[in-house]
Amino acid sequence: MPVTDSSRAAGPRRGRRVAGAVAGAALLLPLLGAAPPEAAAPADLQQAFAAAAAEYDVPQSVLLGVSYLQSRWDTHAGAPSVTGGYGPMHLTDARTALAAAPPHHSEGTEDPRGDDSRAPLIPTAQAPESAQLPARLTTLPKAAALTGLAPERLRTDPAANIAGGAALLAAAQRELGAPASDDPADWYGAVARFSGADDSATAAAYANDVYDVLRTGGERFTDSGQRVALAAQPDLVPDTGRLRQAGLRTVDAEGTECPTTVSCEWIPAPYEEFGGNDYGNHDLADRPRSQDIDYIVVHDTEGRWEGVLEMVQDPTYVSWHYSLRSTDGHIAQHVKAKDVAWHAGNWFVNAKSIGLEHEGFLASPDAWYTEAMYRSSARLVKYLAKKYDIPLDRQHILGHDTVPGPTTSTVPGMHTDPGPYWDWRHYFTLLGRPFEPAAGPGSGVVTIRPDYAGNRPEFTGCTAPGEPCPVHGSSAVRLYSGPGEDYPLVKDIGTHPGSGDSTTGVNDLGSRVSTGQQYAVAGRDGDWTAIWYLGQKAWFKNPKKSPAAVPAKGVVVTPKKGLTSIPVYGRAYPEAAAYPAGVPAQPVSPLPYRLPEGQKYVAGDRLPGQYYYAVTFDTASHQVVTGEDLYYEIQYGHRVAFVRAADVDVVPSAG
Summarised one tens digit per residue, pLDDT across range 569-592 is 999 999 999 999 999 999 999 999
- First CA to last CA across the chain, in angstroms? 36
Is 289 strand, coil or helix? coil
Which amino acid is present at 431? L
Is 445 strand, coil or helix? strand
- At residue 337, φ and ψ (nearest 5 deg) are -60, -25
Helix 60-71 vs helix 371-388: crossing angle, to nearest 10: 60
HEC string of 301-333? CCCCHHHHHHHHCCCCCCCCCEEECCCCCCEEE
> From CA 655, how far away is CA 653, in angstroms rounded?
7
Residues 6+ apart with CB under 8 A from 448: 477, 513, 514, 515, 516, 517, 518, 519, 548, 549
- At residue 626, φ and ψ (nearest 5 deg) are -120, 130
The CATH T-level fold of domain 251-420 is: Lysozyme-like (3.40.80)
> Can you give the pLDDT at residue 95?
73
> From CA 416, how far away is CA 395, in angstroms rounded?
16
Q: Is the dihedral of CA 76, 80, 81, 82 positive or negative?
A: negative
For strand 648-652 and strand 445-448, is the pairing parallel, antiparallel, or unpaired? unpaired
> Can you give the pLDDT at residue 524?
97
CA 129 vs CA 102, 132, 302, 528, 638: distances in Å: 11, 9, 14, 49, 35
Residues 6+ apart with CB under 8 A from 13: 25, 26, 28, 432
- At residue 161, φ and ψ (nearest 5 deg) are -60, -40
> Can you give the pLDDT at residue 134?
87
Alpha helix positions (H), 176-304? 188-194, 200-216
* Domain layout of the chain by residue ranges: 45-93+138-245, 251-420, 434-553, 557-652
> From CA 420, how far away is CA 363, in angstroms rounded?
9
Q: What is the pLDDT of residues 601-643, one digit of tens each?
A: 999 999 999 999 999 999 999 999 999 999 999 999 999 999 9
Which has the closest alpha carbon to 450: 482, 473, 428, 418?
Answer: 473
**Cβ neighbour number for residue 407 with a 10 Å cutoff:** 18
For strand 565-569 and strand 601-613, is the pairing parallel, antiparallel, or unpaired? unpaired
**Cis amide leading into 391 (omega within 30):** no
Its pTM stands at 0.92
CA 161 vs CA 78, 85, 296, 628: distances in Å: 10, 11, 36, 61
Is 60 strand, coil or helix? helix
3-state helix, strand, coil split of the chain in percent (to 5) is 25, 20, 55
- At residue 581, φ and ψ (nearest 5 deg) are -60, 140
> Can you give the pLDDT at residue 22?
33
Query: In angstroms, how far is CA 237 from the centroid of its own chain?
Result: 31
> Can you give the pLDDT at residue 264?
96
Mean pLDDT by 10 residues, the chain (655 residues): 31 30 39 41 81 98 98 94 93 71 69 88 66 86 98 96 98 95 97 95 96 96 94 97 87 92 96 89 97 97 88 94 96 98 97 96 86 97 98 98 97 95 97 96 96 95 92 96 98 96 97 98 98 98 97 96 98 98 95 98 97 95 97 98 98 81
Show the beta-strand stretches assigned E in 213-330.
218-221, 227-230, 264-266, 272-274, 278-280, 282-283, 295-300, 322-324
Query: In angstroms, how far is CA 374 from the centroid of its own chain?
Result: 7
> From CA 476, how far away is CA 504, in angstroms rounded?
11
The β-bridge partners of 644 are: 631
Which DSSP string corresponds to 89-139? Answer: TTEE-HHHH------GGGSSS--SS--TTS--------PPP-SS--GGG-H
Sheet of 536-541, strand order = 536-541, 528-533, 518-525, 445-448, 549-552
> From CA 588, how far away is CA 572, in angstroms rounded?
8
Question: Domain 45-93+138-245 belongs to what architecture?
Answer: Orthogonal Bundle (1.10)
> From CA 532, how far away is CA 522, in angstroms rounded?
6
Show the beta-strand stretches assigned E in 549-647.
549-552, 555-559, 565-569, 590-596, 601-613, 623-635, 640-644
Show the beta-strand stretches assigned E in 476-517.
476-478, 512-514
